[in-house]
């Protein structure tokens, strides 16, 4: 896993393997990354999330979002989401992108822009 801080306002995390599997691992991630860099805006690549995150019926997406929001963090997940055919997932992504805490975007640059970096 690699991290970098953009202009002190956004942490960008890239991982080839999942680091977030459920609510507890999301909380551990926030504590380790967010507190370490004293930053509330985190961009993370799609591969860093367990694939079951993208199956809304597991409840993991909501659990992870709740952890980030409850602890005052904003998250942008970047990557290619076009391979998912689930209408509920597409609706979830659309609704998240309309808010101010969780975004699904195509690439790292857009993630940083959305988070204000």
Whole-prediction pTM = 0.92
Is 110 buried (19+), middle (13-18) or exposed (0-12) by CB count in 10 A? middle
Dist CA 38 CA 3 (whole Å)? 13
Question: Domain 2-114: which topology?
Answer: Transcription Regulator spoIIAA (3.30.750)
Q: What is the pLDDT of residue 5?
A: 64
Domain spans, the chain: 2-114
Question: Measuring CA to CA, which residue among 58, 51, 45, 35 is closest to residue 2?
Answer: 45
Condensed to tens digits (0 to 9), the pLDDT of residues 8-48 reads 689 999 999 999 999 999 999 988 887 888 889 999 999 99
Compute CA distances 106 → 57, 63, 77, 103, whole Å: 24, 23, 8, 10
Dist CA 84 CA 39 (whole Å)? 31
Confidence band for 7, pLDDT divided at 50, 70 and 90: low
Condensed to tens digits (0 to 9), the pLDDT of residues 94-109 reads 999 999 999 999 999 9
Residue pair 48/15 in contact (Cβ under 8 Å)? The answer is yes
């Amino acid at each position: 896993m690699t991290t970098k801080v953009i202009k002190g306002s956004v942490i960008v995390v890239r991982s080839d393997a999942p680091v977030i599997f459920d609510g507890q691992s999301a909380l551990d991630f926030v504590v380790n990354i967010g507190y370490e860099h004293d930053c509330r805006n985190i961009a993370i690549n799609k591969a860093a999330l367990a694939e079951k995150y993208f199956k809304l019926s597991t409840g993991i997406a909501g659990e992870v979002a709740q952890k980030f929001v409850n602890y005052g963090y904003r998250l942008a997940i970047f990557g290619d989401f076009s391979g998912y055919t689930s209408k509920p997932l597409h609706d979830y992504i659309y609704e998240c992108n309309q808010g101010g805490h969780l975004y699904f975007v195509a690439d790292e640059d857009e993630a940083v822009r959305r988070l204000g970096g």
